[in-house]
Amino acid sequence: MNATIDLLNAHRSIRAFTDQPIETSDLHTLIQAGQAAATSSFIQACTVINVTDAEKRQALAQFAGNQAYVAAAPVFLVFCADMKRHQLACQMHDAPMQSGFTEQFITATTDCALFAQNVIVAAESLEMGGVYIGGLRNNIAAVSELLELPELVYPVFGMCLGYPDQNPEVKPRLPLPVVLKTDRYTDTDDQAHLAEYDEVIREYYKTRTGGQKDMSWTEQISGMLVKEARPHMLPFLKEKGYLLK
């Protein structure tokens, strides 16, 4: 189609990196590309923490469920939803800030995601690769303490970045009719599409693992969803001043 769309379509998670470091000027380029993304009502509610300290990296790798590449990647960023600077803006104008609304949680979290997606796209355009680390939320209170995050700042996810030392296949996505509807929501044909897609994913895992992993998409999803999903998140976020009302 064009080089940018080809780049987007070629995305896959990279977890193994060469020794080549990321230059500071390039890191700044990535962050500025992140800032260029849309932001809800111009709130600009994303703060990035670049974790360079080796001990902190080791701790984060462990908090994320022993993901060694969190410690090993040339760059590791933590994307934080941040309304602390909005509190400061209010103080600067003696304005009593109304915080704690679920809506604000949505806009700050979404701001981080749009920002981060631009960062990874920019990185890939410079022949780097990376992976989002949602696993930070396994031990989100410990992550928050380690990075000294104050009230109204919460770590949404991390991201490893570097130059790829692996070349994994692109993972096939859901059939288009499952994710694109016209004028109204309908899922009449979804089960048939999912059954078809299940075999695509089964093949993908088989090929990728030399036959060892034999699993469809619906098997994977249903296996995951019978378990609790980080039940500590709501109390943690409330403590941070989010999702109170």
Q: Where in 70-129 is the site for its own copies (CB under 8 A)?
A: 80, 84-86, 88-90, 92-93, 95-99, 101-104, 106-107, 109-110, 113-114, 116-118, 120-122, 125-126
Using CA atoms, how far apart are residues 27 and 119, in angstroms rounded to an integer? Answer: 9
3 state DSSP class of 176: helix
Among 59, 61, 128, 153, the residue binding its own copies under the rule CB under 8 A is 153
Does 215 engage in binding with its own copies (CB under 8 A)?
no
Q: How many residues bind its own copies (CB under 8 A)?
A: 116
Phi, psi values for residue 146, rounded to 5°: -60, -40
Query: Of residues 7-26, which lie at the interface with its own copies (CB under 8 A)?
Result: 7-11, 13
200 lies in the site for its own copies, by CB under 8 A: no
Phi, psi of 168 (to 5 degrees): -70, 155
Q: State how far the Cα of 211 lies from the Cα of 208, in Å rounded to an integer.
A: 8
Number of C-beta neighbours around residue 63 at 10 A: 23
Segment interacting with its own copies, rule: CB under 8 A, options 66-74, 161-169, 185-193, 206-214: 185-193
Taking the complex as a whole, how short is the minimal distance between the CB of residue 149 and its own copies, in angstroms? Answer: 5
Q: What is the 3-state secondary structure (H, E, C) of 104-146?
A: HHHHHHHHHHHHHHHHHHHHHHCCCEEEEEHHHHHHHHHHHHH
Of residues 44-63, which lie at the interface with its own copies (CB under 8 A)? 44, 46-53, 56
Q: How far is the CB of 190 from its own copies (least distance, A)?
A: 6
